[in-house]
Structures are given as C-alpha cells and as structure tokens.
Amino acid sequence: MSPTLLPAAPPGHGSEAASIAAERRWAYIVIVIIALLILMMVFTGLRWASMPPSRVETVDIKRLHVEGEFVESNLGSTMEPDGKVTVRLIAQQYSFVPQCIVVPAGMPVTFRGTATDAIHGFIVGRTNVNTMLIPGFVATFTTTFSRTGEHLMPCHEYCGTGHEAMWARVQVLPTAEFLSKARGGERLNCVPG
C-alpha cells in the first residue's frame, strides 16, 4: 500500500498522526496474514494434488463377478488364517451383497468392499463404520463392535432412484458364538434361507 493513499496528518495533530501510523501498521500486518494464508492454501493444494493418497487399491469391475476376492462365494464374513475377521461385500444398484452381515462383538473386524456400477456408501447403525464404495476401488474399514445386537446399514451416497431402499443388516454376535461358526473358515452371512 502506498503511503500517499492515506491523508498526511496536519501539523500540530500529533495524536492523529500516531493513529494513522497505527492504522497503517495494522493494515500491513493483515496483508501479511492474508498473503500467508493464500500461500498455505496454494502449497497444500499443490502438494495434495501431486501425491497419491497413502493407500489406493484397485479392482477390475469387469472381472469382479468372475474371479478374485469379490466373487459371490467369497462374500460375507470370514476368519482369516491369521485369526482376523474380514467382511467382504459388494454394493450395486440397489442392494448390498450379502444383505445380512454377521460380525463378532469385542474384536476387530475389517470391512472390504467395492461397488459395481455407481458410487455407493454405507454406515452401520450408530457405530463409526462409514465409508464410500467406488467402482474400481477397494474400500477398507476396521472397527470393533462393543455390543451385540442388530444394526441397519443404509447406503448413504445417492446412487439413483432406488437409493432409499438400499440397505442391509448387520448382526453383532457374541464373540464365542461367532468364532464357533467361523472356525471352519467358510463365508458367513445371516441372509435368511
């Protein structure tokens, strides 16, 4: 800012000159702060755009139903050989597969999911499970359910005219009950029939 923009203090008005100087000083400070904020925005924006997120896992949607992790017989909950519980699911217009998911209480559960057609997402009841499912990408989410019970699991990304009717159920079983069912390594779900 050029000093000529502000009126010069008339002679004999010392206090006015002081206040104009203070005003000018604060104007410079504010300009420096704004410039710093803009620089920070530019720097972080460029940095985020130039680096990939920490973890990107892709999957071929055309082969999804035919081979690999997300074939229908592999969906549902399972106890991995290392003792961890994984839930694999697929979202499509307008349902989740499986429609009913079983998980144990009191131990970490990892959801691995993807979508076949549009962007979907899900939350599980009032737990912290909340993720988007994007075609071509595998979303993962690990959580521990503290209590047994049943939760609704609605799709929370608008995915088309049937969006409101797209939801699944999650049954949280006592740890021992889940473990006895999962011991054989098969894929579990609670879809009736």
Residue 131 as a binder of ligand CUA (CB under 6 A): the answer is no
Instruction: Find the binding residues for ligand CUA in span 69-128 (CB under 6 A).
Output: 91, 94, 120
Beta carbons of 189 and 88 less than 8 angstroms apart: no
Beta carbons of 140 and 129 less than 8 angstroms apart: no
Give the count of residues interacting with ligand CUA (CB under 6 A). Answer: 9
Q: Which is nearer to ligand CUA, 168 or 188 (CB)?
A: 168
DSSP three-state, residue 181: helix
Q: Which is nearer to ligand CUA, 104 or 121 (CB)?
A: 121
In b/e form, how buried is each residue of 107-128, taking b as 16+ CB within 10 angstroms?
Answer: eebebbbbbbebebbbbbeebe
Please report, in angstroms and rounded to a whole number, the separation of the first and last CA atoms in the chain. Answer: 77
Task: Among 64, 103, 134, 166, indicate the residue that binds ligand CUA (CB under 6 A).
Answer: 166
**How far is Cα 122 from Cα 104, in angstroms, rounded to an integer?**
19
**Stretch touching ligand CUA by CB under 6 A, among 40-48, 134-142, 145-153, 155-163:** 155-163
Task: Among 101, 155, 188, 190, indicate the residue that binds ligand CUA (CB under 6 A).
Answer: 155
Residue 163 as a binder of ligand CUA (CB under 6 A): the answer is yes
Residues that bind ligand CUA (CB under 6 A): 91, 94, 120, 155, 157-159, 163, 166
